[in-house]
Structure 1
Amino acid sequence: MFADNRVKNRGISGDVSVGVLKRLPQVAAGKPAKVFLLIGTNDLARNIPADTVLQNIFRMAAYLRRESPQTQLFVQSILPVNAVFGKFAGHTGKGAQIKNINTQLQQNASTYKYSFIDLTAAFANDKGELAPAFTNDGLHLTGQGYALWKHLLYPHVLGLEPKPALIPLPQQLKWNPGYFRLQGANNIVVKKKALRPEAERLRQVLSAKGVTATIANTAPRNEPYIQLRLGKVKAPQNATEAYQLEVTEGKIVITANAAHGVFNGIQTLNQLIRDNELVDACHITDWPAFAWRGYMVDVGRNFQSVPLLKQQIDKMAQYKLNIFHFHLTEDIAWRLQIPKYPQLTAPENMLRNKGAYYSEAEMQDLIQYCRDRHITLVPEIDVPGHSAAFTRAMGVEMQSPGGLALVKEIFTHVSKTYDVPYIHIGGDEVKITNPEFLPAITKLLHQLGKKTIGWDPGGNLAPTTVRQLWMTEGPRQPELKYIESRHLYLNHMDPLESVTTIFNRRLGDTDKGSDQVMGATFCVWHDRNVLKEEDVLHMNPAYPAMLAFAERSWQGGGYPGWISNINPHAQTQLAAFRNFENRLLNHQQQYFTGLPFPYAAQSGLNWQLLGPYPNEGDITKAFAPEQKGFKPEKAALPAVGGTVVLRHFWHPLVTGVLENPQENTTWYAYAQFWSEVSGPKKFWVGFNNLSRSYNSDSPAAGTWDNRGSAVFLNGKPMPPPVWKRPGQKGNSEIPLLDEGYEFREPTIGNVRQGWNTILVKLPVKSFKGTDWQNPVKWIFTVVPLGEE
């Protein structure tokens, strides 16, 4: 029923506890990750005393603990029985003994170090007997009973939250008793023609889960069904995207004010259907805090194929993002076909991925692909900056009179060819030599019925052009509209830091969107060349960050400032992050198999930061924490997380854990973790996490970084990687290979059974890098990874 080759059935019909004991060595020899045990009914039918059954189960727990200590044991309560059918009297007459054993199993779980799973509450009627709905003989389960059993075990088998982990978390969610049986739901009821595309989408969702459904105008009598309907859903903002989702035992109803809301409800329903059997009863009323929830990819520098783009668009849709910002032109290359000017996309005028561009047909296909998923594609043609490719192709500089005429002609063609409401014109990182250039472009686009967006800080944009913030702080002008992208650039972020930062971000310095603050867009800029297109997703934490951004942009809220670390002092904030991280890890396992998803559990890592120790510029100098037998006293400073930023290279705008970091000092970080077994273990270890936009140097041979950082596991140094390009001087055309812990093989360290210690040495000399391409980001990452 699990359709998972990792799940092995070792049960035997008619077996008793002694039989399990005799076969247990064969199971333990395989060192399984988990064992699920349910035994005892047949023992009692043979009049084996309850105490004997209990002792046999306790012996099983002790044996597994001794022979395979890393195995998690889950002991299930013995299922209730019911004598009403008059069958299997020897079994169904043992209800009292079953209750007694289950009570003892629950009470002794901590003593024998197993997890107890209570099945009785779900399977019993109000008399404590096996409910007739789940059996036809009082002992054995029907198909419906097995579906419920799978549903109850599913989160334990896969290590998931007890209830489906929803991202983004709905604004209002109430779990109710009962379940909707998915496999009996063969009818999708929809009356409005406008919702037929959504009904067809839901039909495809159900088909992928093994349910063949038909779309009908009316609900069938006495059969379960799923209904999609338009109705009044009250929401404080963004009502067109709001929805209600009601799951009961007999039906599932999604109600929304518009088709977009129904689509959003289907995405939530898809997450509720996690075991393909039962859907937990619940009531959800939901709406987004921000109307603009965007994701930007830069294909000007590194081309991405249409299938890879569609993969990302599908994930956007799954998490209710609704803006695909498509950065098409750069100094490196112009990627959008303009039929009148084929030289723009000619190979000889591109510096990378020569000859790779998007045809008009491909662009139309992407626009429609987004529209089908209620996503607006926003093309960006960056003018007048980032335009060296244009100059190479056309032979004129954009801000010249001839260049302006050509650009106006191109924008006219783009506007008339593509049905998109917005066109992003860039406008940043350029010296404005023609003050009439940007006003002329925006005037033209507005006359052509397009809305415009430009970067801020940037050039002299029109008052009606939406500003997309990318750097500076400061007051906003009340007459302008804004999109937040500050501190949302993944190319500058460590993977673990990205989730922490984005989850904590207070987008646009406000709790929810308004006429002035439309929302936010997080961005993947990868300035450096890559060996293959997928490296952009391997080296930038696009998918983990997407989930954090989806949560924050939908939920709203957040915390003031630019935060790069988990805050150990704010318990409510820490609890909220841990709750989100658990859901994130669930989604990593369920929905990102085979996709790059650089994230590992980090909120349980507690550090003691010891220092500062003055090193007088000698980064090799050792201090007390490195001495044998050193026992750290009360922490000078607590920290939490797999990645800890002591001082960001944008300090003090982005805060690290040190309020007043000092040059020529050494800090140490100390932590402990438990291992059930001794032997080799995988770790993520890193001290640099090079930005993918700076041309930073690779570490020298035999070092972790150029600051003298080191890490000790149980008092022994962990050697740095054998770098593929040690000491490589930064160069935008030389791709990164293994410089980041998330895209190289994990470090292997030998752990011991029981408690293990990690000591991280963190010296620093100057906060000023050798040049602007090598900024000093005082940071470390050490994460013991879970077993695969």
Structure 2
Amino acid sequence: MLRCVLLLFFILSNLFYAQQKLNVIPYPQKVEFLSGAFSISETITLSNNLPEKETEYFKNRLQPEFKFQVIQKIDAQLIYSQLVKSNQKHNDEFYSLEITSKQIIIKTYTKQGYFLALQTLIQIIDQFKDSRKIPAMVIEDQPKFAWRGMHLDVCRHFFTVDEVKQYIDYLAMYKLNTFHWHLTDDQGWRIEIKKYPKLTQIGSKRKESMVGTYVDNTFDGKPYGPFFYTQDQIKEVVKYAQDRHITVVPEIEMPGHALAALSAYPELACTNGPFEPATKWGVFDDVFCPKEETFTFLENVLDEVMTLFPSKYIHIGGDECPKTRWKECAHCQALIKKNNLKDEHGLQSYFIHKIEKYVNSKGRKIIGWDEILEGGLAPNAAVMSWTGVNGGIEAAKTKHFAVMTPGSYCYFDHYQGDPATEPNAFGGFTPLDKVYSYNPIPSELNVEQSQYILGVQANLWTEYILDFKQVQYMIFPRLMALSEVGWGTSDPKNYKEFESRVISQFKFLDKIKVNYAKSIYNVSGKVIPDHNGISYELSTSQNPNGIRFTLDGTDPNAHSQTYQNPIAVSKSMTIKSAYFENETLKSAISSQSFTTSKTTGKKITLEQQPSENYSFGGAFTLIDGIVGNTRQLGKTWLGFQGKDAVAIIDLVTKTQFSEVYFNTLENKGSWIHLAKSAQIFVSDDNKNFKMIKETGTDEIQNAKGKIRLNVGNQNSKYIKIKIENAGIIPAGNPGADSKAWLFVDEIGVN
């Protein structure tokens, strides 16, 4: 009998401790489970010394499921102690959370730390509320990075004050502390400036909007706006964020992305105009002219902005500023000569320096996108590194602060799943696991230089995001991955464990009616090389035994083949897959078509690497049997800015072929140009190459980038293909004077 009792105790103990896995996001730095448990009653008693605003937030989050009563501190269930700052290892956001069988004790240095502790406690209560017992534990926690941010573009598409407040609530729930509010751009000016009323009278509306995918270039014909925030509304949002310990950083774009402002005040441009807020997405040549009346205007605007926003940093944009108008402007050229500037890039640096000096005189600092490095960085400026990590590296090495937000990891306007099953998006590919894998501190930095990395931020540009439901869809669940990266507890090796915590959070998102992406449930595929060419490996966040697939292009059902091992791809085919549970379809149907050739799965090397933002899969992407999808630039294409694509493919043995094909892409609005030329070479020793074919601009243009070249009868072991970048974008095109993008896809040989 004793043996049975002991066995039962052992089983029950194991069941209880199995539930001691915390589903908190971001996961705390240190968690120690203790014996015993805290019993959750319908009424939670609060000590009478709890910080008022933060506690009111806590109560609102848990009502109406729980009631609250304030009693003397010593007898309360939730009590609070303020620590005296003495431990140099702790920052202002540090907190400890001790849960015993009788009490929950929070200790912090600041109200901010207390608020963060409450976020953890709310998630813990939500996890264990059904059992009404929280395991006893001690948590000691603080973030690794001081800047944990999310950005929202309200210029391309506008969102109401209530929607912006919801957005801020999402940041608070997952311990992000910075809201970057993108308020001005070519397509709309969204902040009231009392000294310049025409900014909102004229600049807050446009005659129509671009619709469809980024390659469609079609318009809806519907006037958009006027949409803007009054100064009273701005104050309301800033106060709302402050109550949640979130800093709002405003962005006022300059010197580029200025069409909405120039539409209202054309005298600030290099030409006479007239101008109108942009109806297309992209980059435009008309920018602020660096003359005294422009600086007076911007200083007056910034005066009103700094009155509204108490943030330490003011974001001044600085990105994607074409130099076309400056090159043609007599005033700009005289300014370059007068100040001994090297060129128009030096003029951009002059512009940023002048603005920084003014902002510094008001006790603030500027931060800008990494193009503010052009011509030399202003003395006290911080850099937001978006084109890759190099901007952040350069800033940190010169002892300037940087926030890391590279597009390849942190752009949430990119697809997070198969474009065929996702809402229209910008075209990149940034799935949940990729966000989670990001390390904001570049390996190129030493310990001292790493201290200049302020933190990490994700950006949500809204060209293709029409309403707030889609905002929710694009940030969730990726915001959770960003949260843990910024907190410093992410570990890509433990991604599956993180994924399970994400899924556990969905129940709460359902309760608050958040339209989150369910791509995590879909079957995902990965092409891998094998001894015969390639195989297609399928995976899911669920039980892999639930994956069903077909090879003939038909939709899978519950009785289709069960996935067990990677699927060999030896010929052109379409593989469709889905996840089933109890014979019921639980995911979207994923589809992947393969077009094989004699290069598929072979060894490939690149002489120059693609841009970090468009390098998914590396060189193997060019011989993986998948023809590029124009809706998904970040997954099925490699992108090279200002560089040629030069690939050498090892066919293993001497191989006969007579045709070579490849694809390039054109979308001039996004600075993407077709290849200028291409040359094909062959070799048997990988040293001595002979050119066998060359094609020029006209042929590539006529083929609209889908190039098929007859190269005669060849028999070689190596093939080399050089696809030439268009170079510097010529005048009259978006992004003129900048380096063109070359997008290349599948290189095949038949």
Per the shorter chain, which TM-score range?
Answer: 0.5 to 0.7
CA, structure 1 residues 218+633, in 2 after alignment: closer, same or farther (shift >3 Å)? closer
Q: Tell me the secondary structure at the aligned position of residue 101 of structure 2.
A: coil
- Rounded to whole Å, the distance in 1 between the matches of 2:591 and 2:141 is 34
Q: 1:358 aligns with which of 215, 219, 229?
A: 229
CA, structure 1 residues 634+545, in 2 after alignment: closer, same or farther (shift >3 Å)? closer
* 1:273 aligned partner, one-letter code: I
Q: 1:424 aligns with which of 315, 320, 329?
A: 315
1:278 deviation in Å?
A: 2.6
Q: Tell me the secondary structure at the aligned position of residue 516 of structure 2.
A: coil
1:334 deviation in Å?
A: 0.4
- Contact (CA 8 Å) 1:185, 1:225: kept in 2 or not? no
* 1:317 aligned partner, one-letter code: A
**Superimposed CA distance per residue, residues 182-237 of structure 1 (whole angstroms, 9 cap, x where no aligned partner):** 21654222537xx23223333334434322222x55322xxx51112211588775
CA, structure 1 residues 595+650, in 2 after alignment: closer, same or farther (shift >3 Å)? farther
1:468 counterpart residue number: 384
CA, structure 1 residues 520+774, in 2 after alignment: closer, same or farther (shift >3 Å)? same
Q: Are 2:39 and 1:187 aligned?
A: no
Could you say what the CA RMSD is over the residues aligned between the two structures, in angstroms? 4.6
- Rounded to whole Å, the distance in 2 between the matches of 1:350 and 1:289 is 41
- Rounded to whole Å, the distance in 1 between the matches of 2:234 and 2:528 is 52
2:620 counterpart residue number: 660
CA, structure 1 residues 493+354, in 2 after alignment: closer, same or farther (shift >3 Å)? same
1:644 deviation in Å?
A: 12
Q: 2:458 aligns with which of 508, 522, 531?
A: 522
**Superimposed CA distance per residue, residues 558-585 of structure 1 (whole angstroms, 9 cap, x where no aligned partner):** 6xxxxxxxxxxxxxx44x0001000011
Q: Are 2:355 and 1:441 aligned?
A: yes
1:456 counterpart residue number: 370
1:303 counterpart residue number: 158
Name the structure where strand makes up a greater proportion of residues.
2
**Superimposed CA distance per residue, residues 730-757 of structure 1 (whole angstroms, 9 cap, x where no aligned partner):** 8999xxxxxxxxxxxxxxxxxxxxxxxx
- Rounded to whole Å, the distance in 2 between the matches of 1:390 and 1:644 is 45
**Superimposed CA distance per residue, residues 404-455 of structure 1 (whole angstroms, 9 cap, x where no aligned partner):** 2211111122223433322100111114645343222111111111121111
Q: Tell me the secondary structure at the aligned position of residue 497 of structure 2.
A: helix
- Rounded to whole Å, the distance in 2 between the matches of 1:609 and 1:414 is 52
Higher relative contact order (CA 8 A, sep 6+): 2
Q: Tell me the secondary structure at the aligned position of residue 41 of structure 2.
A: helix
Q: Are 2:487 and 1:596 aligned?
A: no
- Rounded to whole Å, the distance in 2 between the matches of 1:190 and 1:586 is 33
Q: Are 2:437 and 1:504 aligned?
A: yes
Q: Are 2:279 and 1:344 aligned?
A: no
Alignment of 1:272-291 (within 5 A): 272-274=124-126, 275-276=128-129, 277-291=132-146
CA, structure 1 residues 390+348, in 2 after alignment: closer, same or farther (shift >3 Å)? closer
Q: Tell me the secondary structure at the aligned position of residue 47 of structure 2.
A: strand
Structure-1-length-normalised TM-score:
0.58
Q: 1:197 aligns with which of 44, 49, 53?
A: 53
Q: 1:410 aligns with which of 282, 301, 311?
A: 301
- Contact (CA 8 Å) 2:622, 2:745: kept in 1 or not? no
Q: Are 2:189 and 1:334 aligned?
A: yes
1:246 counterpart residue number: 98
CA, structure 1 residues 238+689, in 2 after alignment: closer, same or farther (shift >3 Å)? farther
Alignment of 1:638-717 (within 5 A): 655-657=615-617, 659-662=619-622, 666=625, 689-690=631-632
2:249 counterpart residue number: 378
CA, structure 1 residues 514+372, in 2 after alignment: closer, same or farther (shift >3 Å)? farther
- Rounded to whole Å, the distance in 2 between the matches of 1:98 and 1:600 is 48
- Contact (CA 8 Å) 2:367, 2:381: kept in 1 or not? yes
Moved more, 175-184 or 232-241: 232-241
1:283 deviation in Å?
A: 0.7
Alignment of 1:564-583 (within 5 A): 573-574=492-493, 576-583=494-501
Alignment of 1:55-70 (within 5 A): none
- Contact (CA 8 Å) 1:188, 1:203: kept in 2 or not? no
Q: Tell me the secondary structure at the aligned position of residue 183 of structure 1.
A: coil
- Contact (CA 8 Å) 2:182, 2:252: kept in 1 or not? yes
Q: Are 2:522 and 1:587 aligned?
A: no
Alignment of 1:228-239 (within 5 A): 228-232=80-84, 239=91
Q: 2:112 aligns with which of 231, 243, 260?
A: 260
CA, structure 1 residues 383+163, in 2 after alignment: closer, same or farther (shift >3 Å)? same
- Rounded to whole Å, the distance in 2 between the matches of 1:219 and 1:251 is 10
CA, structure 1 residues 531+612, in 2 after alignment: closer, same or farther (shift >3 Å)? farther
1:99 deviation in Å?
A: 5.2
CA, structure 1 residues 457+777, in 2 after alignment: closer, same or farther (shift >3 Å)? farther
2:643 counterpart residue number: none
- Contact (CA 8 Å) 1:207, 1:213: kept in 2 or not? no
- Contact (CA 8 Å) 1:688, 1:777: kept in 2 or not? no
- Contact (CA 8 Å) 1:181, 1:249: kept in 2 or not? yes
2:24 counterpart residue number: 166
- Rounded to whole Å, the distance in 1 between the matches of 2:244 and 2:302 is 26
Q: Are 2:482 and 1:482 aligned?
A: no
CA, structure 1 residues 312+449, in 2 after alignment: closer, same or farther (shift >3 Å)? same
- Rounded to whole Å, the distance in 2 between the matches of 1:206 and 1:602 is 28
CA, structure 1 residues 478+237, in 2 after alignment: closer, same or farther (shift >3 Å)? farther
CA, structure 1 residues 607+730, in 2 after alignment: closer, same or farther (shift >3 Å)? closer
**Superimposed CA distance per residue, residues 76-105 of structure 1 (whole angstroms, 9 cap, x where no aligned partner):** xxxxxxxxxxxxxxxxxxxx69959x97xx
1:533 deviation in Å?
A: 4.1
Q: Tell me the secondary structure at the aligned position of residue 266 of structure 1.
A: helix
CA, structure 1 residues 282+302, in 2 after alignment: closer, same or farther (shift >3 Å)? same
Q: Are 2:34 and 1:176 aligned?
A: yes
1:302 deviation in Å?
A: 0.9
CA, structure 1 residues 667+543, in 2 after alignment: closer, same or farther (shift >3 Å)? closer
CA, structure 1 residues 184+334, in 2 after alignment: closer, same or farther (shift >3 Å)? closer
1:655 deviation in Å?
A: 4.6
**Superimposed CA distance per residue, residues 504-536 of structure 1 (whole angstroms, 9 cap, x where no aligned partner):** 0011326999541111111011234x5434334
2:477 counterpart residue number: 544
Structure-2-length-normalised TM-score:
0.60
* 1:247 aligned partner, one-letter code: I
Alignment of 1:143-162 (within 5 A): none
1:273 deviation in Å?
A: 0.2
- Rounded to whole Å, the distance in 2 between the matches of 1:331 and 1:612 is 52
- Rounded to whole Å, the distance in 1 between the matches of 2:251 and 2:183 is 6
Name stretches of at least 5 consecutive residues in structure 1 with no aligned partner.
1-95, 107-116, 124-151, 156-160, 559-572, 616-623, 669-685, 693-728, 734-763, 779-788
Q: Tell me the secondary structure at the aligned position of residue 590 of structure 1.
A: helix
* 1:506 aligned partner, one-letter code: N
Aligned residue pairs, count: 519
- Contact (CA 8 Å) 2:54, 2:244: kept in 1 or not? no
Q: Tell me the secondary structure at the aligned position of residue 219 of structure 1.
A: helix
1:363 deviation in Å?
A: 0.3
Name stretches of at least 5 consecutive residues in structure 2 with no aligned partner.
210-223, 270-287, 327-331, 333-346, 419-429, 535-549, 555-559, 570-576, 580-586, 593-600, 635-665, 671-705, 709-720, 727-739
1:602 deviation in Å?
A: 5.8
* 1:535 aligned partner, one-letter code: Q
- Contact (CA 8 Å) 1:338, 1:410: kept in 2 or not? yes
CA, structure 1 residues 316+440, in 2 after alignment: closer, same or farther (shift >3 Å)? same
* 1:580 aligned partner, one-letter code: F
* 2:179 aligned partner, one-letter code: F
CA, structure 1 residues 634+316, in 2 after alignment: closer, same or farther (shift >3 Å)? closer
Asked which structure has the greater CA Rg, the reply is: 1
- Contact (CA 8 Å) 1:233, 1:243: kept in 2 or not? no
1:40 counterpart residue number: none
CA, structure 1 residues 626+535, in 2 after alignment: closer, same or farther (shift >3 Å)? closer
- Rounded to whole Å, the distance in 1 between the matches of 2:434 and 2:707 is 26
* 2:254 aligned partner, one-letter code: V
* 1:260 aligned partner, one-letter code: Q
- Rounded to whole Å, the distance in 1 between the matches of 2:116 and 2:45 is 20
